[in-house]
């Protein structure tokens, strides 16, 4: 199994297409950093206009932690496409290249082969997120410095102290890894059914877009379905940036407002991953390789 995983990782990282995602992430973050470095004050002013009508906000709002949050909000909607590029290609790409039949005549269990491919896709996902963390968090901490984090939610505002933020990002990235692994597992499942990567990639993105729309729309009939959609739970990383207050409305350092919500979301995502991967294994074991 370990040999299989090594071989799969070797194939992924020898393929030029793999690096598109890393370059895309670097490019996107670079553009955001450039824009905020030049025009960050205007952006902050726009963000804060509701607050500044009654309050004066002093301090370095546009700091590394703030920029990282902005980057994550934008990118974690688009990174799924980059994940799908590799995950949805794992089986269909092999079929398209014609290498699937040579691989499956080698002495290895189909289940091991599939799981090794999935784990390689997960490793790719994690590396992409580490890359994202390096650029979005560490690089921004260097470029913009660090300070408190000022977050605008829909009904309230959260101000987190500088020394109460880094651990939240560590957990948030961990949760984002779980979200992106869910996307990878969906793309991986679709990959079983095609001999060309385009179909599974488009199908994965279509499902994500469709479910995200259902998750966002505030229509009563959809509200019953929302808790079961993985897209509703993919943004669970944001819950790490909400804090509890005591009776005197003082925020409690190191606390999370809704830890149960995070746990529930993590469980839902985990169950989706298990479901998609199990379905993939069941389909693949019986699959006739005609390519």
Partner 1 sequence: MGTIVKVSGLTKSFKHNTAVNDLSFSVNEGDVYGFLGQNGAGKSTTIRMLVTLITPTAGEIEIFGMPLNKNRIEILRQIGAVIEKPDVYKYLSAFENLSLFARLSGVSLSDAKLMDQLDKVGLAHRAKDTVKTFSQGMKQRLGIAIALVHDPRLIILDEPTNGLDPQGIADIRNLILHLSRDLQKTVIVSSHLLNEIEQVASRVLIIDKGKKIVEGNALDLFDPAQTIVELQTFDNQYALEQLQISSWAQHLQPQRDSAILIKIDRLQIPQLHRDLVDMDIQLLSIQPRHSLEDYFLQVTSANQHVDTYSS
Partner 2 sequence: MRKIVFVYIFLLVSFSSYSQDMTALIMRVKAKLDQVNDYEADGRMKTDVSFIKAPIGKVKVYFKKPNKFRLKKDGGISLLPKGGVSVNMNSIFATSDFVALAAGEAMIGGSKTRIVKLLPANENSDIVLTTMYIDETNLLVKKAVTTTRENGTYEIEMSYGQYTQYGLPDKVVFTFNTKDYKLPKGITLEFNDEEKPLSEADKLKNKKGRVEITYTNYQINKGLPDAVFK
d(CA 129, CA 166): 16
Give residues with Cβ within 8 angstroms of 287, minimum separation 6: 192
In the shown chain, the binding pattern of residues 186 to 205 toward partner 2, with x for contact by CB under 8 A and - for none, equals --------------------
Site string for partner 2, 252-281 (x = CB under 8 A): -x-------x--------------------
- Give the Å distances, CA to CA, from 58 to 107, 145, 148, 170, 242: 66, 16, 11, 27, 21
- 238 vs 287, which CB is nearer to partner 2? 238
Shortest Cβ distance from residue 216 to partner 2 (Å)? 6
Rounded distance between C-alpha atoms, residue 263 and residue 177, angstroms = 14
Task: Output 73-78 pairs: Cβ under 8 A, ≥24 positions apart.
Answer: 74/28, 74/32, 75/25, 75/28, 75/29, 75/132, 75/136, 76/176, 76/179, 76/234, 76/235, 76/237, 77/212, 78/28
Q: List CB contacts of 241: < 8 A, sequence separation 6 or more.
A: 69, 149, 151, 158, 160, 168, 172
Q: Does 50 bind partner 2 (CB under 8 A)?
A: yes
Residue 228 lies near partner 2 (rule: CB under 8 A): no
Number of C-beta neighbours around residue 121 at 10 A? 25
> Does 2 interact with partner 1 (rule: CB under 8 A)?
no
Find the angle CA(264)-CA(269)-CA(274) to the nearest 5 degrees.
125
Closest approach of partner 2 to the CB of residue 38, in Å: 22
Q: Which does 4 bind (CB under 5 to 8 A by kind): partner 2, partner 1, none?
A: partner 1
Closest residue by Cα to residue 189 from 263, 87, 121 = 87
- For 136, residues 6+ apart whose C-beta sits below 8 A from its C-beta are 29, 67, 68, 71, 72, 75
* Other Cβ atoms closer than 10 A to 70: 19
Of the candidates 92, 125, 140, 215, which one interacts with partner 2 according to CB under 8 A?
215
Among 11, 110, 238, 287, binds partner 2 (CB under 8 A): 238
Tell me which stretch binds partner 2 (CB under 8 A): 7-15, 129-137, 159-167, 177-185.
159-167
Asked if 3 is part of the footprint of partner 1 (rule: CB under 8 A), the reply reads yes
Of 105 and 249, CB closest to partner 2: 249
The answer to whether the CB of 136 falls within 8 A of the CB of 21 is no
* Site string (90-129) toward partner 1, x via CB under 8 A: -------xxx-xxxxxxxxx--------------------
- Closest separation between CB of residue 114 and partner 2, Å? 32
Angle made by CA atoms 233, 235, 241, in degrees to the nearest 5:
120
CB under 5 to 8 A by kind: which of partner 1, partner 2, none does 14 bind?
Answer: partner 1
Interaction of residue 46 with partner 2, rule CB under 8 A: no
- Give residues 53-82 in contact with partner 2 (rule: CB under 8 A): 53-61, 73
Give contact residues for partner 2 (rule: CB under 8 A): 50-61, 73, 147-148, 150, 152-162, 164, 215-216, 218, 223, 226, 232, 235, 238, 242-243, 245, 248-251, 253, 261
Give contact residues for partner 1 (rule: CB under 8 A): 3-4, 7, 10-11, 14-16, 97-99, 101-109, 286, 288-290
């Amino acid at each position: 199994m370990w040999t299989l995983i090594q071989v799969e990782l070797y194939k992924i990282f020898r393929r030029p297409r793999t690096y598109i995602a890393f370059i895309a992430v670097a490019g996107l973050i670079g553009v955001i950093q450039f824009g905020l470095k030049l025009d960050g004050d205007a952006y902050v002013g726009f963000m804060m206009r509701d607050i500044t009508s009654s309050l004066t906000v002093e301090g370095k709002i546009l700091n590394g932690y703030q920029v990282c949050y902005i980057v994550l909000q934008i990118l974690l909607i688009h990174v799924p496409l980059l994940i799908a590029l590799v995950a949805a290609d794992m089986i269909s790409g092999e079929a398209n290249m014609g290498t699937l039949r040579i691989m499956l005549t080698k002495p290895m269990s189909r289940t091991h082969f599939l799981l090794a491919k999935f784990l390689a896709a997960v490793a790719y996902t994690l590396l992409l997120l580490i890359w994202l963390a390096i650029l979005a968090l560490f690089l921004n901490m260097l470029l913009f410095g660090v300070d408190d984090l000022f977050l605008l939610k829909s009904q309230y505002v959260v101000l987190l102290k500088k020394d109460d933020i880094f651990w939240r990002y560590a957990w948030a990235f961990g949760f984002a890894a779980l979200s992106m692994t869910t996307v990878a597992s969906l793309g991986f499942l679709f990959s079983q059914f095609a001999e060309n990567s385009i179909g599974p990639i488009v199908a994965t993105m279509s499902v994500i877009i469709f479910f995200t729309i259902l998750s966002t729309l505030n229509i009563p009939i959809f509200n019953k379905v929302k808790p079961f959609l993985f897209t509703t739970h993919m943004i669970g990383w944001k819950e790490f940036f909400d804090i509890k207050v005591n009776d005197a409305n003082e925020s409690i350092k190191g606390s999370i407002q809704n830890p149960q919500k995070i746990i529930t979301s993590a469980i839902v995502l985990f169950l989706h991953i298990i479901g998609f991967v199990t379905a993939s294994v069941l389909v693949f074991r019986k699959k006739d390789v005609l390519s």
